[in-house]
């Protein structure tokens, strides 16, 4: 049990962990390259540690040195591991690895924790099977444990049926080893981390707009080894942005961030709510500042925040706002580390707000500036983002108790230390 005490005031500057999405891609591309790559600023979380562990099992050499990692891809390429690839809590590890091992001959077993073992993997199995791999899993949605039979693949054109960067990325990773080019068409613009990292590694990727979405075409190839430098994770900055905005006496900044448009939709949402939250461009990286604010309700569409990762923390902002905030088309929230659709509604109610669902939309009637959040208890259900969202609510309100809060280690092992630094 972790007690999160209310913070009397919030001041200071935070450096969040390296971007989790970019860290996974950098590790995988380094392992697929021939030769040694250095990686600085990697996410220190257990999710990326699982990816490092998996590529080591597949034959890459992985060595920590001070604040950086060295990853060397074997000259003959990755090979199947006799032991299972342990993906722990990390959906990105499991889905991207499926794409990687689809092109590695042999049988690959992928396992995860209780949360990951409930999440649908049919979304990656379908395109990979079309490319020539075989993917077996449990139940109709093919959840883990998974068995992937890798081998010769052919390029495909695949229209991703759900907005998911992980699915797009699994297909692109498989496409590296396929014969012929691979095209992925998405109707919602999801994060471009894979396309960007592949281009940085010297691969031939072309991206073109297609309606509201994009068409990504990749030619097969082997990435170059290189020096990877990972920026800070904007999804982690979102927790502090909301803390700053809803706390009655706050002034904080978060430094050294990536600010790709698909990642910082939450800043625009908060600005519409009247939050004094802003991104500042420092050339290579951005910083984010947040000051105590008076918030009003808004309407949030999942297209603005394609991975919906920031919706739980925006729900906390909605609880502090005056009026009814609408969250539209939020079905994907149900298949994250926990059912965040139900979890966000439950959290809002625990804080004392009224919250209700209509189909895939949900609504939160906030308490407004005059009232304070109620104290509450949360069962973390192996979901790092629900723990951090709840902690922000507790720190800005009247405290909370979290059972299983150590699950923050998936993405942000020092979250509670950083929160305390702001006191
Ligand atoms: C991620 C994509 C998103 C996001 C996850 C990281 C990635 O998942 O929720 O935290 O690194 O590609 P979906 O692809 O399922 O939206």
Q: What is the pLDDT of residues 13-69, one digit of tens each?
A: 999 999 999 999 999 999 999 999 999 999 999 999 999 999 999 999 999 999 999
Q: What is the pLDDT confidence band of residue 112, given thresholds at 50, 70 and 90? A: very high
Report the C-alpha gap between 117 and 96 in whole angstroms. Answer: 15
Write down which residue in 115, 147, 177 finishes a domain. Answer: 177
From the CB of residue 208, how many other CB atoms can be counted at a distance below 10 Å?
Answer: 9
Task: Give percent above pLDDT 90 in the chain.
Answer: 99
Pair 74, 146 in one domain? yes
Q: Report the nearest atom of ligand 1 relative to the CA of 336.
A: 9
Structural domain includes residue 329: yes
pLDDT at 216: 98
Compute the distance between CA of residue 367 and CA of residue 325 in angstroms, rounded to an integer: 11
Provide the domain limits for residue 151: 20-155+165-177
Question: Is 316 within 8 Å of 323 (Cβ atoms)?
Answer: no
Q: Which residues line ligand 1 (CB under 6 A)?
A: 21, 92, 164-166, 169, 191, 307, 309
pLDDT digits over 315-331, tens only?
999 999 999 999 999 99
When pLDDT is averaged across residues 286-310 and rounded to a whole number, the result is 97
Residue 391 CB neighbour total at 10 angstroms? 25
Residues 83 and 147 in one domain: yes
* 182 belongs to a structural domain: no
Distance from Cα 223 to the centre of ligand 1, integer Å: 22
Question: Do 11 and 58 have their domain in common?
Answer: no
Among 47, 258, 309, 418, the active-site one is 309
CA of 374 to the centre of ligand 1 (A): 31
Considering the domain architecture, whether residues 254 and 145 belong to the same structural domain is answered as no
Distance 356 CA to ligand 1 centre (A): 26
354-387 per-position pLDDT tens digit: 999 999 999 999 999 767 899 999 999 999 999 9
95-111 tens-digit pLDDT: 999 999 999 999 999 99
Ligand 1 atom closest to 25 (CA): 11
For residues 375 and 314, membership in a common domain is answered with yes
Find the 21 Cα to ligand 1 centroid distance in Å: 7
Q: Is 66 left (phi over 0), alpha (psi -120 to 50) or beta?
A: left
Helices (H), 286-414: 311-320, 340-350, 384-396
Name the phi and psi angles at 273, rounded to 5.
-80, -5
In this model, does residue 251 exceed pLDDT 90? yes
- Phi/psi of residue 414, nearest 5 degrees: -100, 25
Residue 245 sits at φ, ψ, to 5 deg, of -70, -35
Between 122-131 and 91-102, two packed helices, what is the crossing angle to 10 degrees? 10
How many other CB atoms are found less than 10 A from the CB of residue 139? 10
- CA end-to-end distance (rounded Å), the chain: 21
Together in a domain, 400 and 251: yes
CA-closest residue to ligand 1 atom 10: 309
Is 236 in the same domain as 265? yes
Nearest CA to ligand 1 atom 13: 164
**Dihedral sign, Cα of residue 25, residue 28, residue 30, residue 34:** negative
**Do 250 and 118 share a structural domain?**
no
Residue 376 falls inside a structural domain = yes
Same domain, 90 and 9: no
Please report whether residue 220 resides in a domain.
no
Q: Are residues 83 and 109 in the same domain?
A: yes
* 309 a catalytic residue: yes
Comparing CA positions, the residue from 141, 30, 57 lying closest to residue 91 is 141
Using the predicted structure, report yes or no on whether residue 394 has a pLDDT greater than 90: yes
pTM of the model: 0.98
Same structural domain for residues 291 and 312? yes
Looking at the domain assignment, is residue 411 inside a domain? yes
Does 225 map to a domain? no
Specify the DSSP element, H or E, that contains 170. helix 165-175
* Domain count along the chain: 2
Mean pLDDT of 401-418: 98
Domain annotation covers residue 51: yes
Residue 410: inside a domain: yes
Using DSSP bridges, classify how beta strands 286-291 and 276-281 pair: parallel, antiparallel or unpaired: antiparallel
Please tell me whether the peptide bond between 145 and the residue prior to it is cis, using omega within 30 degrees of 0.
yes
Are both 266 and 292 inside the same structural domain?
A: yes
CATH number of the domain where residue 171 is located: 3.65.10.10
């Amino acid at each position: 049990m972790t007690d999160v005490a209310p913070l009397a005031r919030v001041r200071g500057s935070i450096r969040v962990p390296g971007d989790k999405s970019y860290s996974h891609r950098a590790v995988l591309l380094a392992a697929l390259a021939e030769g040694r790559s250095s990686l600085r600023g990697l996410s220190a979380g257990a999710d990326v540690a699982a990816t490092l562990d998996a590529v080591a099992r597949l034959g890459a050499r992985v060595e920590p040195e001070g604040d950086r990692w060295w990853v060397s891809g074997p000259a003959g390429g990755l090979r199947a591991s006799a032991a299972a690839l342990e993906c722990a809590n990390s959906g990105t590890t499991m889905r991207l690895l499926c794409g990687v091992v689809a092109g590695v001959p042999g049988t690959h077993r992928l396992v995860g924790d209780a949360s990951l073992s409930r999440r649908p993997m049919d979304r990656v199995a379908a395109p990979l099977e079309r490319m020539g791999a075989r993917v077996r899993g449990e139940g109709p949605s093919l959840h883990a444990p998974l068995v992937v039979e890798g081998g010769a693949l052919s390029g495909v054109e695949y229209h991703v049926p759900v907005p998911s960067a992980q699915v797009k990325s699994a297909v692109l990773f498989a496409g590296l080893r396929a014969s012929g080019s691979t095209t992925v068409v998405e109707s919602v613009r999801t994060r471009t981390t894979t396309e960007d990292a592949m281009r940085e590694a010297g691969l031939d990727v072309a991206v073109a707009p297609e309606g509201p979405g994009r068409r990504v075409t990749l030619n097969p190839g082997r990435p170059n080894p290189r020096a990877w430098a990972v920026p800070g994770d904007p999804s982690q900055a979102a927790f502090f942005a909301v803390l700053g905005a809803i706390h009655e006496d706050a002034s904080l900044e978060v430094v050294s961030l990536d600010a790709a448009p698909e990642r910082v939709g939450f800043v625009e949402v908060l600005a519409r709510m009247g939050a004094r939250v802003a991104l500042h461009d420092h050339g290579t990286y951005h910083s984010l500042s947040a000051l105590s604010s008076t918030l009003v309700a808004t309407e949030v569409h999942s297209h603005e925040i394609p991975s919906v990762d920031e919706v739980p923390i925006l729900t906390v902002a909605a609880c502090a706002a005056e009026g009814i905030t609408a969250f539209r088309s939020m079905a994907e929230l149900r298949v994250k580390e926990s059912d965040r659709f139900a979890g966000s509604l439950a959290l809002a109610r625990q804080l004392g707000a009224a919250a209700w669902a209509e189909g895939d939309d949900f609504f939160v009637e906030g308490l407004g500036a005059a009232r304070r959040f109620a104290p509450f208890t949360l069962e973390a259900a192996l979901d790092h983002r629900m723990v951090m969202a709840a902690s922000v609510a507790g720190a800005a309100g009247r405290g909370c108790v979290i059972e299983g809060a150590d699950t923050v280690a998936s993405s942000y092992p020092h979250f509670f230390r950083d929160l305390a630094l702001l006191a």
